[in-house]
Amino acid sequence: MRPERAARLVVGLLLLLLVIAPLFSGGVDLLVDWLWFGQEGFRSIYLTILKSQITLSSLAGIGFMAVAGLNLLVARSLAGRHAFRVHGETVDLPMLDQFRVIFRWVIWGGTVLVGYLVGDWGASHWLDYQLAQHAIPMGESDPLFGIDLSFYLFRLPFQWFLYHWALVTLILCLLGAVFLYLVEGGIWVTPRGPAVGRYARAHFCALGALIFVLIAYRFRLAMYGLLYSPRGVLYGAGYADVHASVPIFWILLFLSLATAAALLVAAAQGRLRAAILAALGLVVVGVLGGSIYPEIVQRFVVTPNEIDKERPFIARSIEFTRKAYALDRFEEREFSAGEDLSLEEVRKNDATMRNVRLWDHQPLRTTFAQLQEIRTYYDFVRVDNDRYRVNGTYRQVSLSPRELNTGSLPSRNWINEHVSFTHGYGLCLGPVNESTPDGLPVLFIKDIPPVSTANIHVTRPEIYYGELASDYCFVKTHAKEFDYPSGAQDVYTTYQGAGGVPVQNIWRRLLFALKFGEKNILFSGDIDAESRLLIYRRVLERASRLTPFLSYDHDPYVVVSEDGSLYWMLDAYTTSSMYPYSEPYGDVGNYIRNSVKATVNAYNGEVRFYISDPTDPLIQAYARLFPGVFQPLSAMPQDLRAHIRYPEELFSIQAAMYAVFHMTDPRVFFNKEDVWRIAQSAARGQAAAMTPYYTIMKLAEVGTKEEFILMVPFTPSKKDNMIAWMAARCDEPNYGKVLVFTFPKQRLIYGPQQIESRIDQDTGISQQLTLWDQGGSKVIRGTLLVIPVEKSVLYVEPLYLAAEAGGGLPQLKRVIVSYSDNVVMETSLDAALTRIFGGAISTSTAQAAPSGALGAAQGAGATPGQARGRAPRSAADLRSLVQEANQHYERAQQLLRQGDWAGYGEEIKKLGDILKRLAATK
């Protein structure tokens, strides 16, 4: 085969591969996503993104090939003007004539290949392109250049993309021209070195001029980049940047243009001296002025007078950072933290005390896992806190859905994992502050099928979409679809929802088989035209796939609607790293808003997006880009809107930033006179920052009633006393408002770490903890909670006891309460409060072991067990015993279904004891 034909064949095969390969790799995914987006009602998002990617890929890839191709044509035309290839002392490349055609095809084939890669790279910048097209004016300018901030958030990223595309294109054009001239003539290798023809030199000079024009543009972009400079005290342009770097960049810009002009003159006249001198001047100024001169200014002008020089720039950074993280919206108030809290005030704040969280997430999850997973293939992924009106009372509850873990199925095969076992079932829900006499959590909703003792009922308990469900499954098949276990006989069901992609025909089955690489999808007799494919069942993945331009909080939580359906609530963020003068935070960037709330139906997977912060310019741009996708928050059903929460992830970021940026005076900020940190706690070992926690309380001098809030305490950066606490309000109409309560600086307010030390130093408490930590048991210390009440502060820490081996079952055994100089440990919160304030206090509506009765028994010298053994003394006690009897009965039935006869007998014995106590009341 002739070399020319072989070269053409190779290039043709390469081009064919570039066309066919995507069809077998990404083409199948594209078709499946086309069907899925359409089924979910968001095909407009799919089409907008796909069109944007195709447009930008075409502009970048074809644009590159057009420019590079034109450049090669010009080079080939100019190469033909040279009169000789081998002349005098000039020696041609070995075998050049024989392989000239091959080299031509390699050059053109390489151009197409690089163009394809450039187009693929360009497609990844579709969002920059669309944001530049849909920029929202922000009505505020940066203080250095006077440009609207929207330029930085929306247009500057795309300008950087254009610069990099042009730079890559011109550099590759230059390299391609060099190679073509070597092949066609124009560059020769001589004994004295390479020789360049006149026309080739002119071509190189013209390309060089374009590159230096582009470098001048790069220096202009670098000026904007100074607004993100880390050189000064804070992020953003400082004194040295403004007074040294900006002038240098202007000089470099003009030198670049001068070099470009000199190269154009050299292209016409053939004299390179002026261009070389201009380029050398550019290099010298770049080296000396780009780094050395600004550093000299920083060390010898700024540093000796830093506060005076940097004051206006520190003020800018503080202002813009506070705006970027919405810290400027926070309201700061004083909190006196008195020590005159009375018994009547505690009783008046009974809703606050009734919702103190005594069940930490990890011990409660462990308890759920051991008591309520029922089967090995169910998992409780995490525990969340929310609030409900339980029998007319506003209560904080802990809840966790029971999800299916196909990895734990006793028999793992394709039918079981993708057809038979398809969903989780129900959830556990109970109050955060109540426990049974055995120290186990009280549950309002539990078991399979869900049993409810409150006015919250689950009528659609199946969970096809959750945090754990990450693989595909088929529903409405001929195979039995497992619903839930029921003794010796399992219960089966048929999916009744509209979720999933309909199978319909053999072509879709083939497509799905290619998508998952599974032949059973094509040949299984259980799947027919009525079957449906459920994919992207992890709720975070599901929402992220629909809206890839949003970032999602890692903690979705489940909500029980009024009709008994289960919904997942997700928080989505708009973020950017292009907000001028704003200090970045980790991988988040330097701008963040919780602009979207999303809901996902756990049964049919329906996703809805609601705008929770309409003032955010990014979500305004997305709403314009994707019309009809986002609805106002008021459009969310009221029963779901009642459960929106201020997201913990955003709150943690804001708290970390506010700990520093609450200082608005530049001098105070520079001297770090009042830096805070999130309060530390070492209850579980090494000291670590406390995790923000939800609670229900009435905010002093602000709220008129109890409300659901998210809060965290602060301490000075190098001390442990408490300096402030921050609360985010979650209930309408005050949702999203953040309050910061500061303590008097002239008084010592104990911080969590100091309270932990006082607990450890209490001889009675430490002896009891040491005793429990022996004999195969271990004490688990819960989160120390700071509970503001009126203008005072209480500290509450639960204690759990669990067996050290064999997956111990945590039991709530004691509650430690600290107020003023008092630290007490009792069997319940009520008993501890009663002991501190000297009067009976009840914090539960129907607690299994009423603290009043327990406290009275202990006051008479009885043990806690003796107190529980006495006859009930009130109607509340009677209700508690009835509830406890019902719990033991249901637990006994559950153990009976599982075949655990020993456990069944123990529960029946406990039930008999309670019935005897009830009989004693007659």
Summarize pLDDT for 31-54 with one digit per residue, the tens: 999 999 999 999 999 999 999 999
Distance (Å, whole) CA 401 – CA 824: 35
Contacts of 256 (CB under 8 A, 6+ apart): 212, 213, 215, 216, 219, 282
Strands 707-716 and 693-697: antiparallel
Instruction: Say which range, 323-332, 347-356, 379-388, has the weakest mean pLDDT.
Output: 347-356
Contacts of 308 (CB under 8 A, 6+ apart): none
pLDDT for position 231: 83
pLDDT for position 553: 96
pLDDT for position 852: 32
Give yes or no for residue 848 having a pLDDT over 80: no
pLDDT for position 857: 30
C-beta atoms surrounding 130 within 10 Å: 23
Strands 331-334 and 738-742: parallel
pLDDT for position 18: 52
Give yes or no for residue 856 having a pLDDT over 50: no
Give yes or no for residue 748 having a pLDDT over 80: yes
Higher pLDDT, 803 or 547: 547
Strands 607-611 and 630-632: parallel
Mean pLDDT of all residues in 845-874? 37
Give yes or no for residue 476 having a pLDDT over 80: yes
Residue 874 identity? S
Give yes or no for residue 95 having a pLDDT over 60: no
Instruction: Say which range, 79-83, 179-183, 217-221, has the weakest mean pLDDT.
Output: 79-83
pLDDT for position 337: 84
Distance (Å, whole) CA 354 – CA 547: 40
Strand pairing partners for 793?
A: 788
List helix spans (H) across 614-739.
617-625, 638-641, 648-661, 666-671
Q: What's this model's pTM, rounded to 2 decimal places?
A: 0.86
Higher pLDDT, 683 or 1: 683
Q: DSSP letter at 329? A: G
Question: Cα 726–731–732 angle (5° rounding)?
Answer: 125
Distance (Å, whole) CA 530 – CA 480: 15
Contact predicate 148/141, CB 8 Å: yes
- The full DSSP string for 833-878 is HHHHHSS-----SS-SS-HHHHHHHHHTT--HHHHHHSPP-SHHHH
pLDDT for position 82: 56
Give yes or no for residue 849 having a pLDDT over 70: no
- Side-chain half-sphere exposure of 889, counting CA atoms within 13 A: 10
Give yes or no for residue 653 having a pLDDT over 60: yes
Instruction: Say which range, 125-134, 727-736, 797-806, has the weakest mean pLDDT.
Output: 797-806
Instruction: Say which range, 230-234, 273-277, 354-358, 456-460, has the weakest mean pLDDT.
Output: 230-234
Q: What is the band of 905 on the pLDDT scale with cuts at 50, 70, 90?
A: confident
What rounded mean pLDDT belongs to the chain? 87
Percent of the chain clearing pLDDT 70 (strictly above): 88
User: Phi/psi at 145 (nearest 5 deg)?
Assistant: -110, -10
Instruction: Say which range, 415-419, 423-427, 570-574, 868-872, has the weakest mean pLDDT.
Output: 868-872
Percent of the chain clearing pLDDT 90 (strictly above): 65
pLDDT for position 113: 87
The reply to whether omega before 733 is within 30° of 0 (cis) is yes
Mean pLDDT of all residues in 822-827? 92
Give yes or no for residue 898 having a pLDDT over 80: no
Distance (Å, whole) CA 594 – CA 616: 9
